[in-house]
Amino acid sequence: MRVAVITGPGQVAVEDRDDPVLPGPDGAIVKVDVTAICGSDLHFYDDDIPMFPVAAGHEVVGTVVETGPDVTSVKAGDKVLVASVAGCGRCDGCARRDPVQCVLGGKVFGAGELGGGQAELLAVPAADFNLLAVPAGIDDDAALLLTDNLATGWAGAKRGEVAAGDTVLVIGLGAVGLCAVRSAFALGAERVLVADPVEGRRARAVSWGATALEGPTVEAVMEATGGRGVPTVIDAVAKDATLDDSFGAVRAGGTVSVIGVHDLNPYPLHVLMGLFRSITLRMTTAPIHATWPDLVPLIQEGTLDTSGIFTHQFPLEGAAAAYAAVAARTADCVKVTLTP
């Protein structure tokens, strides 16, 4: 099969690899119909996490071509979406639909042990747990977002305890940040302030009802909130500078919800500040499976719009150009699909 491989900083090749085999009697093989590049894939490409070569990709919608004898929920020919974080499906954590709490450790496709989804085929363990037959009324874009980005944005808003009437700050307006904006509104936020260095991305969020901040983030938040700060900050970037802004912009008693991916260096957390201001810090990769019961009906009924996140399409063979386009972080290119 053909596989996109990040071979070094800023370098992507499409290589021939052996087809995957069933990862056990409870596993499945999925033919990838469409996949996508996630902002976290760029951490390999940008050399923030120097792990080369890596067959990346964890956002997949495809068709089941083979299942093990223990699989009961899907069969060959079914169109499915693949949870980006996989669990064993048998432990207490997975019973809560949260692979992050899996006793075997939630494993991300395309980040080591599991194969990458930017390929023609993908082996999926614990298929009854990690696959979801694409529900009626869910198109490919929405299904792809349910594998990771929308689930992550939703988890960020939920863990930030966004409530009706709140003012929320979202830092970073890539696909995850934009999904967090829509999730905050869906949870009842009255005002969503957004910060991003790319004006066009701010404009995109504004077109969905957000309020763009200009200038230094903390100062702009204080001006917008009468000097008090916001009850919830969702940081979809998680660099040192954005974490500083998050703690500076959150009000006393508020919550900082981190869903961006930091690099491998430690962050100097000012614990005394957090203690005296009673700040709650929450960080997570999304409990993908646990978000589906909330998100699928919201999409089906039109309460949560998933359009406008994907901006470009490339064939799998064009993976190098696709990564370069996403890594440029321009206003017009937010998220791309790859089609084998």
Residues 262, 268: Cα–Cα separation, whole Å: 12
Mean pLDDT, to the nearest integer, of 2-8? 98
In this predicted model, what pLDDT tens digit does every residue of 17-50 receive, in sequence order?
999 999 999 999 999 999 999 999 999 999 988 8
pLDDT for 112 equals 80
Mean pLDDT, to the nearest integer, of 155-165? 97
**Could you tell me the residue ranges of all domains in the chain?**
2-148+287-339, 153-283
Mean pLDDT, to the nearest integer, of 154-163? 97
Backbone angles phi and psi of 145, in degrees to 5: -65, -30
Exposure pattern of 58-88 as b/e (b: 16+ CB <10 Å)?
Answer: bbbbbebebbbeebeebeeebbbbbbbbbbb
2 in Cβ contact with 340 (< 8 Å):
yes
Backbone angles phi and psi of 249, in degrees to 5: -95, -20
In this predicted model, what pLDDT tens digit does every residue of 185-215 receive, in sequence order?
999 999 999 999 999 999 999 999 999 999 9
Position 113 pLDDT exceeds 90: no
The helix or strand, by DSSP H or E, that contains position 323, with its residue range, turns out to be helix 319-327
Separation of CA 262 from chain center: 14
HSE of 262, CA atoms in CB hemisphere, 13 A:
16
Bridge-based pairing of strands 280-283 and 250-258 is parallel
- The pTM for the full model equals 0.95
Residues 65, 75: Cα–Cα separation, whole Å: 8
Which residue type, as a one-letter code, is found at position 309? I
pLDDT for 47 equals 93
Closest CA to 2 of 325, 327, 315: 315
Residues 296, 294: Cα–Cα separation, whole Å: 6
Position 106 pLDDT exceeds 90: no
Closest CA to 167 of 243, 254, 285, 52: 254
The alpha-carbon radius of gyration of the chain (Å, integer) is 20
Class of domain 2-148+287-339: alpha beta
pLDDT for 202 equals 97
Lowest-pLDDT range, 107-111, 143-147, 255-259? 107-111
Position 78 pLDDT exceeds 90: yes
Assign a CATH topology to domain 153-283: Rossmann fold (3.40.50)
Q: How would residue 263 be classed by pLDDT, with cut points 50, 70 and 90?
A: confident
